[in-house]
Amino acid sequence: GWPGPVMAGAPPPSAPGGPEPPPAPLQYSLLLQHLVGEQRRPRAWDPAALGGIPSPAKSEEQKMVERAMESCTFKAALACVGGFVLGGAFGIFTAGIDTNVGFDPKDPYRTPTAKEVLKDMGQRGISYAKNFAIVGAMFSCTECVVESYRGKSDWKNSVISGCITGGAIGFRAGLQAGVIGCGGFAAFSAAIDYYLR
């Protein structure tokens, strides 16, 4: 009679002294193909699956506060206050190292009193604070308007707003001063933006 059914794909038994059949592929190589090879599937990052804390939905009050803080008015006011403080500190510092503070041109040999020196330092600090506040508010408001108009947040916004701010300040002294102010403020804004980014 015929022998029993033969399994398909089974390698024929090697004859004694003949070539041995090729070894079966290693299982870990197949596993590596699925882990780091071509068979790997990217997995979506889901923090909740790893025990992340779900964030609650924002209330209307929180949304309203966020909209107010992102508005151009708030940014301009914040820059105005920051410019006032920075300008005042800078004015007092420059007055402190200036040897002519409290100097009376009518009596150049008289030593100024502490009250006169403090008065001059205060006046210079207030003057610098006002100028810095105006420039800060103008620049911040202009940048916010330009960014809203363009719909992009990149270095061009700083350059455009710097040119507008410098030009507006310089035009009070004439057309040439306005052009110089525009170029100077634009270059300074580009340098600061490049350094910060």
Q: Which amino acid, residue 66?
A: E
Distance between CA 72 and CA 134 in Å, rounded? 15
Distance between CA atoms of 72 and 79, rounded to whole angstroms? 10
What pLDDT, on the 0 to 100 scale, is given for residue 115? Answer: 85
pLDDT tens, residue by residue, 91-143: 999 888 877 777 777 777 777 788 888 888 899 999 999 999 999 999 999 99
For residue 84, is pLDDT > 80? yes
pLDDT tens, position by position, 36-51: 766 667 666 655 555 5
Q: How far apart are CA 36 and CA 31, in angstroms?
A: 9
